[in-house]
Amino acid sequence: MTDGAGREASARGIRSLLGSRAALWAGFALVHAVLIWLNLAGPGYPLGDVTAVYRVWAENASSGWVRMGIDAPWVYPILAFAPMTAALAFGAAFYAQTWLAIVTVLNGIAFSVLIGRARLSRPRRIAAWWWLGFLAVLGPIAFGRIDAITVPFAITGLLWAAGRPRVATVLLTVGAWIKVWPAALVAALVIAARRRLEVLTVALSLSAGIVGVSLIAGAGSNAVGFIAEQAGRGLQIEAPLAVAWLWQIVAGSESVEIVYDRQILTFQIEGPGADAAAALTTPFMALGVLAVVLIGIRAARRGAAFGLLLPPLAVSLVVVLMLANKVGSPQFVTWLAAPIVLGLVFRPARFMVPAFMAAAVALFTHVIYPYWYGWLLIADPAFVLLLTVKSLLLAALLVWGVGALWRAGARRGSAPRDAPARVGGVRGEVARDTMVSDES
């Protein structure tokens, strides 16, 4: 055997090994073990919200003092209380460990759906390894907030969106009532699915049921109080819009400063125009979502295939929520995992560029938080630059998503809505594996 043939055989062996379920599950175990360790023992207090805030809320409710979202206004939808309370299962002393176990189990369920039980296709292997890499470069914040609970709901819902739209809608709607952002994925599914009326009916009925149970429990207006609570926030320092004020601090401005809001426990910008900018984020977000929705509807009306339409539509809507956001917390980056995984499953070649951009956003977020967050709090130029580049990458990701959406609807009737999408150069196998048709 020649050296070239030997190297080729070795490369095939490595690819075969990395493409096995055993290797994927080993990678899953390793990444999660490292992230659990970083959350429990790493610097920077990565589980601060979980142990210092969520646990207090859960203990107060279990003691009968106050139930957030029912007895008092809350920044989260009502179902967020379920995982927070569940983490008390083994007592307050093990709250952090139980929380991390819940996240790991949910991720494991989503991962098992992603790699499936049938023959493991190349797109699914790519998507699975990308998700593990994304979690690794994002770091402990991938587990350390309520958003970590919603991501596996979102990934599983999107993977089942074509073949099981009702189940997918239930998962995405439940996710939205834990943390609002999966509502964007419900909207994307309503636009992309042929059975959109069914999707909309399931989402609205389930939401009405959740609100109804909250009202029976005595929530009153607190059942939807998270909307007003979010609207009253200032401009948080991690928000993309805050970059302009951070650079003013870097330049030596004495009229702009970073302050700590003790009511909502965040660092915010205080200075000329900051409050106005914070107030404008909501209408900007609404306009951005409307623009993406209209482009998505255009593509749907022109017969864009489900596999061509849903992934870039989901990416675009999620990125709009991130860019036009007055909060911009580092955990928001976890949202990118769901639409990128979906895109890699459907069309890995086309989604390589956004996958790399999303991974870069995760890496820059990890550098800033939690280890060296203090440097951003004093507006160190290097860390303000990192935040600026991160925001520009998100903007580039939005441009890519909107462009892909526009191209998906470029030709009227170019592809039947229920036709199998061609994914990664393989038609029949991937159509079955990814459930591209939404008629099952």
Contact 169, 186 (CB under 8 A): yes
According to the model, what pLDDT value does residue 12 have? Answer: 58
According to the model, what pLDDT value does residue 421 have? Answer: 39
If you average pLDDT over every residue of the chain, what do you get?
A: 89
Question: For residue range 167-194, what is the model confidence (pLDDT) as tens digits?
Answer: 999 999 999 999 999 999 999 999 999 9
Q: Which stretch of 11-20, 139-148, 154-163, 313-322 has the lowest confidence by average pLDDT?
A: 11-20
Span 17-33, average pLDDT: 91
What's CA 287's distance to the chain center, in Å? 21
According to the model, what pLDDT value does residue 1 have? Answer: 52
What's CA 124's distance to the chain center, in Å? 19
Question: For residue range 42-87, what is the model confidence (pLDDT) as tens digits?
Answer: 888 889 899 999 999 999 999 889 999 888 889 899 999 999 999 9
What does DSSP assign to residue 392? H
Q: Which of 179, 183, 228 is nearest to 203 (CA)?
A: 183
Contact 235, 241 (CB under 8 A): yes
Q: Which range, 7-21, 68-82, 238-252, is most confident?
A: 238-252
Q: Given a cut of 90, is residue 440 above it in pLDDT?
A: no
According to the model, what pLDDT value does residue 383 have? Answer: 96
Q: Given a cut of 50, is residue 438 above it in pLDDT?
A: no
According to the model, what pLDDT value does residue 435 have? Answer: 39
According to the model, what pLDDT value does residue 253 have? Answer: 93
According to the model, what pLDDT value does residue 10 have? Answer: 52
According to the model, what pLDDT value does residue 249 have? Answer: 96
Contact 316, 405 (CB under 8 A): yes
Question: Would you list the DSSP string of 219-276?
Answer: -GGGGGHHHHHHHT---BTTSGGGHHHHHHHHTT-SS-EEEEETTTTEEEEESTTHHH
Q: Given a cut of 50, is residue 212 above it in pLDDT?
A: yes
Contact 75, 145 (CB under 8 A): no
Residues 6+ apart with CB under 8 A from 375: 368, 382, 383
Taking the CB of residue 263, how many other CB atoms lie within 10 A of it?
A: 8
pLDDT higher for 416 or 364? Answer: 364
According to the model, what pLDDT value does residue 23 have? Answer: 95
Whole-number Å distance between alpha carbons of 222 and 224: 5
In sequence order, the β-bridge partners of residue 68 are 72
- Residue 81, class by beta-carbon neighbours within 10 Å (0-12 exposed, 13-18 middle, 19+ buried)? buried
Whole-number Å distance between alpha carbons of 90 and 97: 9
Q: Where are the domains positioned within the chain?
A: 16-434
Rounded to two decimals, the pTM is: 0.90
The two structure tokens encoding residue 257: 């400063």
